Structure formats: C-alpha cells, structure tokens
A and B are shown apart, each in its own frame.
Chain A
Amino acid sequence: MLTKDELEKYDRQMMIRGFGQKGQEKLKKAKVFIAGAGGLGAASATYLTAAGVGVLRIVDHDRVELSNLNRQVLHWHEDTGKRKVNSATQKLRKLNPEVKIEAIEERITEANISQLVAGFDLIVDAMDNLPSRYLLNKMALEKNIPFFHGAVYGFEGRAMTVIPGETACLRCVYRGAIPEEKFPVIGVTPAVIGCIQAAEVIKYIVGIGQLLTNRLLIYDGLNMKFTEFSVKRDPNCEHCGHLEGKS
C-alpha cells in the first residue's frame, strides 16, 4: 500500500502505461543488490532510489579518492577518505528517506557472496574487475536471481541483462579473464550505462517493456552511437550450461 506522500512523489512514473500503482507497489517490495559504489553503482543507485525501490544493499570495500570524483557522483570532495558505501548511503538517504539503504563494507569474494546476495531479488553488476563479475554472474545463476551487467572504458560502455536459465549469461559471451587494472573513463559513460542498468531493473520489477536479454548493447560516446550484438546461450557454458529453461 502506498502512502499519500508516495502517491504524490511517484505520480509521474505511475502515469506511464503499464506502470500504475501496482507497478509502484512492486518497486516498493523489491530488494536490489548493487555490487560496487563506483561510477556505475552511483548512477544506478541514484535512479533506483529516486524510483522508490524497497531495499538497496550496496557493497563496496573502497574508500573515496580524489581520482574517483570525475565520475562517482555520489561521492563529493568532502567525502575523500570516507568509505564509499557510507558516502553513498548518506546521499541516497537524503534523496529518498523511504528507501531502506543497506551499506556493507566488504570485498565481494567467493566465500561471502552467497551470504551477501541472500534474500535479494536482483543483482546489479557495478564492479570494476572481471573476476568479481564472473563471481556475481555465477551466483546469480545458482540462486536464480536476474543479473544486470554494465561495463565502461573511456567513452564506451556495455550493458546486458541476464535471466538465469533463460537467456545468455556473461560467461556465454566473455571467455577472457582480464585481471583488475586501472582504466580510462569519463564520468558521463558510467552515468549512461548505470542509468540503462537502472532502467532494466525497473522494467523487470514492474513487468513492462522488452529487456536487454540475449543482446549486448554497446554505447560509443565518441561517435554517439548505440549498437546491439545478439548473443545466444552457450549449451556448454561453464556457468549456465547445466541450467534448464528456455533459451
């Protein structure tokens, strides 16, 4: 049930065809896990908070550095040195006090990931390294949790949505195992991709529109082009090949 304030706050999005109060109530009940409070995490968390999801759990082990501030817009100059999850939570709670924001200061590892995502309905991949992304992808598949992938490099970004057992997963597409590294990026790129991830999450929860499944969306900010590449489930995929379901 929505409160009087919520009915007013979310009025414009509830006007969207197929959204309505029912869609808003679905959002209010949803529990979203965001892996990473960096550029992608800042954008997706901001818009999911503004949209009125029920619970957001943000996990990150880093502290805010000056070199983060060109793109990680939830962290401001005064936050330098603070834990990113605390800096992000502080702003998000001010943006929308009705959303329950959970901040967890931990590095995501094979040992803790199952516990971290337990009870959550969706996973947003806002990580900055491939091993963690694979870990999240695998856990999402194991626990049957939809997974919203995003990645950036310079002016380029990518996004893809994974419905476990039904659509291609991250491992169906990527075979490499590139290690953690410093990469170039302009702030607008994670903003674009993080917002695409947030839009996918909202559409999935509300049950409207067509998801970015079996398609890898590539954003080329330098030439201002969006390109789609179709991808298929790999029956021999080491992460999802054993799962039954529609392909």
Chain B
Amino acid sequence: MERKIKVHFSPGEEKEVTVEEAKRILDETYNDPLGGLVANGKTNEVIFQIDPDVEEIIVLEMMIGGG
C-alpha cells in the first residue's frame, strides 16, 4: 500500500497526500518568499525534509506582525 502523509494546514484544513506530494508541499513552503515553515505533526519538530518516519506534517504560515 502506498505510504500516505497527513498534511495539516492552518487553520484547521487537512488532507492525506502521497510522499511525493508532501515533499512538493514542503519544498514549495520553503521556496516561496511568502512561505512559512513545516513541522513533523507527531513530534512537533520543525523539519526541512520528509524523512521515512514522517507520518504527518503541519504547514505554518509566515508571521510578521508586531505592531
């Protein structure tokens, strides 16, 4: 059975994708100038690649506000 990764987008939106799709989402997040960051959904560790143990990812948007 093909490995699937659950992707959580903020706020609250989620879907299951293939590993390739998860890698694409991660790359797009980091390559997009407006992109944010990606964390392992099980360990809450910020990650920069999809390792074999990754089952879920959380995509966090960039945040800049201060004033």
Residues of A whose CB lies within 8 Å of any CB of B are: 36, 38-41, 62, 68, 71-72, 125-130, 133, 150-153, 156-158, 173-178, 180-181, 183, 185, 190, 216, 218, 222, 227-232, 234
Contacts and interface: CB of A to CB of B under 8 A. Distances in A.
A49 to B, nearest CB: 18
B63 A152 contact: yes
A114 B16 CA distance: 47
Interface residues of B, number: 22
Contacts of A173: 37, 46
Interface string B41-63: 00111101000000000001111
Contacts of B65: 39, 128, 151-153, 183, 185, 190
B5 interface: no
9 contacts: A38-B66, A38-B67, A39-B66, A128-B66, A130-B62, A152-B66, A190-B66, A230-B46, A232-B45
Interface in B4-27: 11
A229 B45 contact: yes
B66 A40 contact: yes
The 6 closest A-B pairs by CB, nearest first: A38-B67, A128-B67, A183-B65, A128-B66, A151-B63, A152-B65
